[in-house]
Structure formats: C-alpha cells, structure tokens
Structure 1
Amino acid sequence: MELLELIASLESLVVQARRLPVGGNLVIERRVILDLVDQLRLAVPDNVRQAAQILEQREQLLRDAKEHGQALIEEAEERRKQLVSETIVVQQAESRAQEILMEAEARARQTIADADATAAAHLSEAAEAAAKQLQEADRYAVGVIERLQADIRTVLDALDRSSESLQESR
C-alpha cells in the first residue's frame, strides 16, 4: 500500500472513531493504529532502499572497473615482458609495452570515472524522488492534522456551549 493511502487510512480511522462523551477524546483500537504505523514504516523506506541499492551498484561498478583495469594492467605488463623476452629489438618492445600499459591505465581510469558518474546520477535521482515523496506526505499529514484540529475545535466549542447551557439552566 502506498504511503498516501496509508495516511488516508489513518485519517479515516480517526474520523470514524467513537468520541467519548466527556473530554472529546477518541476511542481507537491500539492494535489497528500500531498495524498502520508498521505499514507506514514499510512504505517509506522504499526510496531509501533504492538509494542503498544504487550505492551498492555504484560500489560494484567501481570494484568491477578496478578489477577490469587491474586485469588490463596485468595483461599489458605480461605482454610487455613477453615482447621484451621474444624480440630482438628490446627498445621497441619496451616502448610498445609502455604504450599498452598507459592505454590500459587510461581506460581503467575512464571506466572508473564513467561508473562513478552513472552511480552518482542514479543516487541523485533516487534522493530527489525520496525527498519529493516525503514532502508530499508531510503536506498531506499537515492537512489532515489541520482538519482534525478544526474538527476538535468545533466539538470543543459545542461542548462549551452545552456546558454553558447546562449551567444557565441550573
């Protein structure tokens, strides 16, 4: 159930609750309220969980990129050693191996930078979505509370008038 639906259920529960004859308090079953609170807790963290998953994906992308980069570096180093030992022109082999190593390092850095940028974008989107949902829930909750306060004031005013009427009739 969505967060706003749960808040609407809470509002409905309060609106439909029995009123005590004295004091204007409401009678609401504790279990029902606690069930709604549990459901609210389960409804809110979805975006937070999504953000955590995005962070984990970012970390995995970074680990994969580092592993891939390390593999490229090791492959380049192995290739460099092979070229040095097999070729007659040692200087040419060293030069080419160094180029391969630099290319591998540049590709590894670029892969890590790309993974970091992608993860940051996903995290930013999830954080914005979570903030927007929380703002909407807060606005809705404030509206519900204001309506409840108005209802309570109306009931209290009616009780005051009834009390004054009773006192005047005595």
Structure 2
Amino acid sequence: MRVFEILDELIETVETAKGVPMSSSAVINRSVVLDLLDDLRDAFPTSLEDAREILEQRDEIVDSARAEAQRVQETSTSEARQLVESARAQAEREVSEASAAAEQARSRATAEADRLVGGARAESESIRSRARDNAERAVAGGRAERDRLVSQHEVHRTATAQAQQLLDDAQRNAGKLRGDADKYVESSLSDLSLTLQRLMTTVERGRDKLQSRQQSVGYEDDSFERPRSSIADEAPYAEGEVGPGVFDQDR
C-alpha cells in the first residue's frame, strides 16, 4: 500500500536526521516532512484530527518559543551590562583611592622637606647673626682686641661653614623624602594595575559564562535569522517540547 511506503519514507527521514546536541530530538527539513505528510493524507483519506491540530498550532508554538528566547537574551544582556558597570565603578574607586593616597604622601613629604629647609635656614641665619654681633663687639673693643678680632673672624668663617653644612644636609634629606614619596606612588600605581587586571579577568569570565548560557539555549548574540527551508535555526525548545520539524525519537 502507498500508505506504508510513505510511512517508511517518513521513518527513514526521522532516523537519518541530524541529532540536536544534548537532546534525544532531531532536526528535520520541514518541507520534506510536510510533503510526506501531504502524500500520506492523500493516500489515507481518514482525517487525523490530532496531527492536524498540531500542524495548525505550529505558528503559535514557534512564536512562544521565540518570545521566550528573546526574553532570555534581554535578561543576559542586562546582566552583562550590570557586571561591566560594577567592574568599572570598582576600578574608578580604586584609582581614586590610590591617587588620593599618593597625593597625601607627596604632600606630607613636601611639607617635611620644607620644614627641614626652613629650620636649617633659620639656624644658619641665627648663627650668622650671632657671629656678626660678636665680630662687631670685637671691633668696638679697639686695637687691643685685634687678636680677638682675628679669632672672632675665624669663628665667623667656621659658623658660616657649619650653617652651609646644615643647609646642604637639609636639602639632601628633602631630596630623599621626595624620592621615597615617588617610590610610594609608583608602588601604589603598580598595585592598582594588578587590581585592574584582576577585574578585567573577572569581567572576561562573566562574559564567558553569559556566552555559555546563550549557547545552551541555542541562539547567537548578533543574529536571530533562520533559513526558510530548515527549522534547524528555530528558537530552542525546553526539554520535552516538540516544535514543527523536530521529532522526539524516544516517543
């Protein structure tokens, strides 16, 4: 009978169809199956109401599945955007805190250097002032105090040298403090760089998870188009559901 021949062709089409990953279902060319069903209907005049209802409802089933896929895609996109925004905000906070700490360290170092230099200058001026006063008193003492004047001049020279030495030491200390501050800033920025790298790694992992989730529901991020001749690219169905052109071999 022609009916059994058509049924054999339909069974062969299902058995040789490409299987859907992680499922007992298979992807079948819709036009081929519909042609076989039309032939079967013509060869078998009795109407199969249940099969006809399923065919009539196929557009509704496809629209429902497509809407669910769109909802999942929008949810995934929103979660990815929130993850990126959170990572960006955290990175900005890290940069702000590191910059503030570096600026505070530099300000403290500069203030300490200025204090040391100012103290050295004041001490130098005090020593010079005392030396001048002593020299003036020696001159006022007259010729009898000439030897003392010479000695006092030596004292003045020595005091000036000591004052210059204090000033040089203060400037060296100030330079060292500035160098230490620069090293601290460099170390802080290096730590910040490592933190940003870890944040970027976290973002990449989040994106990988989202892509894996998108692949598990059977669609791509940038395209939702499907060929008209095949239902292989139709929106994914939940486990146990059957769409047009997809038959569960376990049934």
Q: Same fold (TM over 0.5)?
A: yes
SS at match of 1:45: helix
Which position in structure 2 is the counterpart of 1:83?
Answer: 138
Percent of residue pairs identical: 11
1:57 is the counterpart of 2:112 = yes
Q: C-alpha displacement at 1:88, in angstroms?
A: 3.7
Which position in structure 2 is the counterpart of 1:120?
Answer: 175
**Greater Cα radius of gyration, structure 1 or 2:** 2
CA change 1:98–1:20 in 2 (3 A) is farther
From 18, 21, 46, the equivalent of 2:75 is 21
Q: Deviations over 1:1-25 (max 9, x none)?
A: xxxxxxxxxxxxxxxxxx9515353
Which position in structure 2 is the counterpart of 1:133?
Answer: 188
Which position in structure 1 is the counterpart of 2:219?
Answer: 163
1:144 is the counterpart of 2:199 = yes
CA change 1:52–1:140 in 2 (3 A) is same
Instruction: Please list every run of 5 or more consecutive structure 1 residues that lacks an aligned counterpart in the other structure.
Output: 1-18
SS at match of 2:75: coil
Residues in 2 aligned to 1:127 and 1:20: alpha-carbon distance in whole angstroms: 48
Q: Are the aligned partners of 2:124 and 2:163 in contact in 1 as well (CA < 8 Å)?
A: yes
Residues in 2 aligned to 1:93 and 1:20: alpha-carbon distance in whole angstroms: 97
Which position in structure 1 is the counterpart of 2:48?
Answer: none
Residues in 1 aligned to 2:76 and 2:156: alpha-carbon distance in whole angstroms: 84
Q: C-alpha displacement at 1:67, in angstroms?
A: 1.4
1:96-111 pair list within 5 angstroms: 96-111=151-166
Q: C-alpha displacement at 1:70, in angstroms?
A: 1.0
CA change 1:36–1:136 in 2 (3 A) is closer
Q: Deviations over 1:13-70 (max 9, x none)?
A: xxxxxx9515353337x8xx86984575245422321222111211121111111111
Q: Are the aligned partners of 1:87 and 1:93 in contact in 2 as well (CA < 8 Å)?
A: no
Which position in structure 2 is the counterpart of 1:70?
Answer: 125
Amino acid at match of 1:98: H
The size of the alignment, in residue pairs, is: 149
Greater RCO (CA < 8 Å, at least 6 residues apart): 2
Instruction: Please list every run of 5 or more consecutive structure 2 residues that lacks an aligned counterpart in the other structure.
Output: 1-72, 227-231, 235-251
